[in-house]
Structure 1
Amino acid sequence: REAGYHEADLLTVAERLEVRMRRHRLHTAALGHDDADRFATAVLLGFPRDDPDTVELVNFGHEPPLAVGPHGLRALPGADGLPLGLGDLTDDRPRVRRVPLGREETLLLMTDGVTEARDRAGEFYEPVRELARAVAVDPQLAEPRRLVRRVRDGVLLHSGGHLVDDTTVFAMRRVGEGPVQGRLRS
């Protein structure tokens, strides 16, 4: 994670994370601990200064981020990469995708604890369907804090407050004008 502060290139950060996960696995194995199944899903995001209307992303097996705006929502490229720590199973390098992201769109990320939350009947929570309907009724819902509250309240209501996995909901939107003045609000 420290590489994110020092490396300008998202692919370099992705590769350093993968190396770190493998190094940790080898280290714990050398200490006699079985850590062969250690992996992590992740999404890395970059906001290019030269193109403020795009986002760069590398997806390591994570739920795809959503772009939510007053005109609806759309999924960004999905989990085309293996989770971190499993890169030695393939010769493929992580892939950086550059995707348009409008200034009125909020980037929404959720862990699988949200999308795999179940109700009493065992049905999964479907935030994409719920959010699509809600944004159609109230386009202002795309504001980051409102969006996070909506997902939080929706998953808690759906699951009866009983969550069996870690849940994280994170929303951010680029604000300001131009590539240098732009900043993120979450």
Structure 2
Amino acid sequence: VACGHPAPVLLGAGPAREVAVAPGPPLGIGLVGVDPPQRTVVPLGPGDRLFLASDGVWEARDATGGFYPLVTGLTALAGTPSAGLPEAVGADLVRRGYQVRDDATMLVLTPDPGRPAPR
């Protein structure tokens, strides 16, 4: 569920890519006449990771006002272990001259290797 936040990014075989999720209103806003958020299931295989970031990461800007290219950055950082990936993205933002102007929350989800993928 993406309630007011950007789509997650799937890191697996090949380049990183955004996962299509049904949009929904931000959490805590009870809008009359708006359908509740719809759940999207993203099967994760061995070695796959799902990277979630708040809009502060996606909307970090450089000196020209351009947004941080998160998907491209994650493709370049794909070899980084999951535990260090949020810190690597933060360091990449700074190294490339982007400024975070909003909350910057990042989360990496990995499948449990002992549990079968959902169908």
What TM-score do you get using the length of structure 1 for normalisation? 0.54
Change (3 A) 1:131 1:178: closer
Give unmatched runs, 5+ long, in structure 1.
Answer: 1-57
2:95 paired residue among 124, 133, 157: 157
The amino acid that maps onto 2:54 is: T
Once the two structures are aligned, what percentage of the paired residues are identical? 33
Partner of 1:177: 114
CA contact (8 A) 1:66 1:74 kept: yes
**Correspondence 1:119 to 2:57:** no
Change (3 A) 1:85 1:120: same
Alignment of 1:10-21 (within 5 A): none
What TM-score do you get using the length of structure 2 for normalisation? 0.79
Partner of 2:82: 144
Give, in angstroms, the shift of residue 86 of structure 1: 3.0
The amino acid that maps onto 2:112 is: V
Give unmatched runs, 5+ long, in structure 2.
Answer: none
More helix by share: 1
Q: Structure 1 runs of 4+ off > 3 angstroms?
A: none
Give, in angstroms, the shift of residue 81 of structure 1: 1.0
Structure of greater relative contact order (alpha carbons < 8 Å, 6+ residues apart):
2
Q: CA RMSD in A?
A: 2.4
Task: Determine which structure has more spread, i.e. the larger CA radius of gyration.
Answer: 1
Give, in angstroms, the shift of residue 140 of structure 1: 2.7
More strand by share: 1
Provide the C-alpha distance between the structure 2 equivalents of 1:61 and 1:90, rounded to a whole number of angstroms. Answer: 17
